[in-house]
Every structure is written in structure tokens, then in C-alpha cells.
């Protein structure tokens, strides 16, 4: 059987039933059952990490246990200084007797002046010691590197003066006890401030402040 060729070779062949109309777009998604009206499943967007605004300060790191223990010991040192201060005020009479025994030629007026000067000196030193302990506790808790340097100097001086006082025999009684406890606190605090985790904490705080 012969087929008759089209009269016009450039004529567009008839559309096949399996072809879509040119001006009718194919559905973007078709379900397996053939229902093209269903939309593809919606997935939740991926969570984004919190963004720190430009120029905003980064959150301060948490002090490690070594720093927190050192801070507690510093507050204990402040309490010890307060007890020593109160003890010196309550023992004025014994101090007066010691001064009178060491200086038998002093008059009553001279004794009163010496004792008053000694009490005033003890008050000033006691208050300064308490404030220094509290100041060092708070600044080191915040991770300030210069505070660790100051604490190191003060702690070393505390230990040296305690050793010198014991060698010269210039202290006795409760003064010796307070001095030894204070020096022991200073030594333990310095050990804690220079632990590896403490070094990392000071460095992290310094990086944030740059």
C-alpha cells in the first residue's frame, strides 16, 4: 500500500495526542496518582545562627571554677582583715600597757597620744586592706589582666612581710595567727589565678575587649 506525500513538504504535521498544546504549560508538579493540583510538600526553613549586630559587645565568658574559688578566698581575706581590725580596737588597753612598759618615761598624755595614733593607724590600714581584698575579688572575677598583676604584687608583699615579721619576732599572739592565715590565703589565691583554665579565661576576656 502506498502513502501519498503531503502536497506541501513544509506543512506542519498534525499534532499527536501525546503532545501538549504549545500555549498550555505543563504542570510543575504531578503527584503519582496523576492529580496535578496538589502542591509539593513544604519543608521548614533551616534555622539560622544568632547574629551579633555589628559593633555590639560580645557576651562575657563565664569565670572558671579556679577564678570563682579565688574570688571566694579573697572575700575570706576581707573578712579576716575586718576581724583583725576589730581585734586591734578591742585590745587598746593591752597595747597601752605594752607601750608603757617599753617606755617608762612616758607621761599619761604621751601614752594617750601614742595609743590614739596607733588606733587611727590600725583603722586606716584595716579599711584599706578590706577594700583591697574586695576590689581584687571583683576585678579578677571580671577577668581583667591588670587585676591579676596587682593581686600578684600584693600577695607577694603579704607573704614577704609575714616572713620578715616572723623572723624578726616583731609579732606575737593573734597578730601572728592573722598574718599566717593571710599569707596562706595569698599563696593559694595566686596559685588559682595562674591555673591553665584561669590563663585561658583572662586571654578570652582580653580578646573581647580588643
What is the domain partition of the chain in residue ranges? Answer: 65-209
Structure-block grid coordinates of residue 81: 582583715
SS3 of the chain: helix, strand, coil, percent, to 5: 60, 0, 40
pLDDT value for 132? 94
Q: What is the mean predicted confidence (pLDDT) over 84-113? A: 80
Query: What pLDDT is recorded for position 9?
Result: 54
Distance of CA 142 to the CA centre of its chain: 4
The arithmetic mean of pLDDT across residues 190-197, rounded, is: 96
Q: Identify the residue whose cell numbers are 595562674.
A: 194
Q: Which of 21-35, 53-67, 76-90, 140-154 has the lowest mean pLDDT?
A: 21-35
Instruction: Please tell me the least confidently modeled range out of 19-33, 145-159, 162-176, 190-204.
Output: 19-33
The answer, as to whether pTM is greater than 0.75, is: no
pLDDT confidence of 204, banded at 50, 70, 90? Answer: very high
User: Do residues 67 and 198 lie in contact, with contact meaning Cβ atoms separated by under 8 Å?
Assistant: yes
Residue with more model confidence, 1 or 72: 72
More confident residue, 192 or 31: 192
Burial bucket for residue 1 (CB in 10 Å: 0-12, 13-18, 19+): exposed
Q: Which of helix, strand or coil describes residue 93?
A: helix
Amino acid at each position: 500500500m502506498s502513502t501519498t506525500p503531503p502536497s506541501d513538504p513544509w506543512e506542519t504535521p498534525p499534532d499527536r495526542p501525546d503532545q501538549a498544546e504549545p500555549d498550555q504549560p505543563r504542570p510543575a508538579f504531578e503527584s503519582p496518582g496523576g492529580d496535578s493540583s496538589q502542591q509539593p510538600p513544604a519543608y521548614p526553613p533551616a534555622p539560622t545562627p544568632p547574629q551579633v549586630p555589628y559593633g555590639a559587645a560580645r557576651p562575657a565568658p563565664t569565670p572558671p571554677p579556679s577564678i570563682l574559688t579565688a574570688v571566694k578566698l579573697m572575700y575570706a581575706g576581707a573578712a579576716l582583715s575586718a576581724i583583725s581590725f576589730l581585734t586591734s580596737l578591742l585590745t587598746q588597753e593591752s597595747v597601752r600597757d605594752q607601750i608603757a612598759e617599753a617606755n617608762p618615761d612616758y607621761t599619761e598624755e604621751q601614752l594617750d597620744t601614742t595609743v590614739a595614733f596607733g588606733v587611727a593607724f590600725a583603722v586606716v590600714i584595716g579599711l584599706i586592706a578590706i577594700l583591697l581584698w574586695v576590689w581584687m575579688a571583683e576585678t579578677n572575677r571580671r577577668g581583667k589582666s591588670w587585676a591579676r598583676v596587682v593581686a600578684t604584687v600584693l600577695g607577694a608583699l603579704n607573704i614577704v612581710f609575714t616572713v620578715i615579721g616572723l623572723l624578726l619576732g616583731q609579732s606575737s599572739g593573734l597578730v601572728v595567727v592573722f598574718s599566717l592565715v593571710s599569707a596562706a590565703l595569698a599563696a593559694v589565691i595566686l596559685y588559682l589565678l595562674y591555673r591553665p583554665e584561669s590563663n585561658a579565661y583572662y586571654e578570652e576576656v582580653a580578646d573581647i575587649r580588643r
